[in-house]
């Protein structure tokens, strides 16, 4: 099991950071039988919204004196971010699109309410 590291800021050295995460490609994707589960663009948008909300929770807890809550929120955010990254990668492969373009479309929709470009 990987060791936890302390926060690099000396003022926050009491905060234990989670161990480094594995790359998105190494994560197991959701499957039905032997097939990957396809995600629609709307599902990707919802997943990104969830990740952004989890990140906002991390930011809100950052300056609080509750290391356990911060660490739990940080881990939840990383899990949601990993999930959306993996889903974007899979969606791009299935649609024959560039991964970065799909991610940009999703984030544009989530953060600016702009419709996806065809």
Residue at 26 is within a domain:
no
Identify whether 118 is part of a domain: yes
For residue 56, being part of any structural domain is answered with yes
Kindly state whether residue 50 falls inside one of the protein's structural domains: yes
The answer as to whether 51 is a domain residue is: yes
CA geometry: angle 39, 42, 44, nearest 5 deg: 55
Predicted pLDDT at 94 = 92
112 domain-assigned: yes
* DSSP annotation of 35: E
Segments forming the whole domain that contains residue 87: 39-118
Is 23 inside any structural domain? no
Instruction: Find the DSSP H helices in the chain.
Output: 41-61, 67-95, 99-112
CA distance 68 to 72: 6
Report the domain count for the chain. 1
**Confidence (pLDDT) at 113:** 85
Residues near 97 by beta carbon (within 8 Å), at least 6 away in sequence: 91
pTM summary value: 0.66
Instruction: Please report whether residue 58 resides in a domain.
Output: yes
The phi, psi pair for 115, rounded to 5°, reads: -65, 155
Residue (of 96, 82, 87) closest to 41 by Cα position: 87
Q: What is the DSSP letter of 36?
A: E
For 66-110, the pLDDT digits (tens) are: 999 999 999 999 999 999 999 999 999 999 999 999 999 999 999
């Amino acid at each position: 099991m990987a060791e936890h590291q302390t926060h690099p800021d000396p003022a926050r050295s009491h905060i234990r950071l989670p161990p480094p995460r594995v790359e998105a490609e190494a994560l197991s994707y959701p499957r039905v039988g032997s097939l990957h589960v396809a995600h629609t663009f709307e599902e990707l948008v919802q997943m990104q919204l969830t990740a952004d909300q989890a990140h906002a929770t991390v930011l809100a807890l950052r300056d609080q004196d509750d290391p356990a809550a911060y660490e739990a929120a940080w881990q939840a955010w990383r899990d949601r971010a990993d999930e959306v990254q993996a889903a974007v990668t899979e969606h791009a492969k299935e649609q024959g699109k560039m991964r970065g373009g799909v991610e940009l479309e999703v984030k544009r929709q989530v953060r600016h309410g702009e419709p996806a470009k065809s």
